[in-house]
Structure 1
Amino acid sequence: MEEMAGQVCIVCSQIKQEGITIVSQFVCEDCESEIVHTNAEDAKYQYFIHRLKQIAVTH
């Protein structure tokens, strides 16, 4: 059985196979789900914003 290589998530830095690509940056489906369900008042929301700003910096 052949294993797929996967991509490195810009949020959690783990290699995952399922997720989305925004511009040229990969976000795994676990982080995508957590981002979508995090309230803007939650402290973790700012962490996600910080990590996602890498998309603008790298492109």
Structure 2
Amino acid sequence: MNLSEHKEVCGVCDLEKPKGIHLYNLFICCECEQKMVHTEPSEEQYKFYLDKLKHINQPKLYS
């Protein structure tokens, strides 16, 4: 598999994307990262992003 073909599911938009960042166990695509960085606390989307980021510190449980 070519690395350019590797995609991960974004923890914010839930879509498969080829590029992004990892914050602990959460993958965030480049598009969502940019939207988050440019969202002001007074905007309605801000709470949505905060709720998504709450999943960062919750370790995955494997059974």
TM-score by length of 2: 0.83
Uncovered stretches (5+) of structure 1, i.e. residues with no partner: none
Match of 2:13 in 1: 12
Specify the structure having the higher radius of gyration (Cα): 2
Cα distance, 1:6 vs. partner? 0.5
Q: Deviations over 1:9-40 (max 9, x none)?
A: 00000000111001121000000000000010
More helix by share: 1
Aligned-pair identity in percent equals: 31
Uncovered stretches (5+) of structure 2, i.e. residues with no partner: none
Say what the alpha-carbon RMSD is for the aligned residues: 1.4
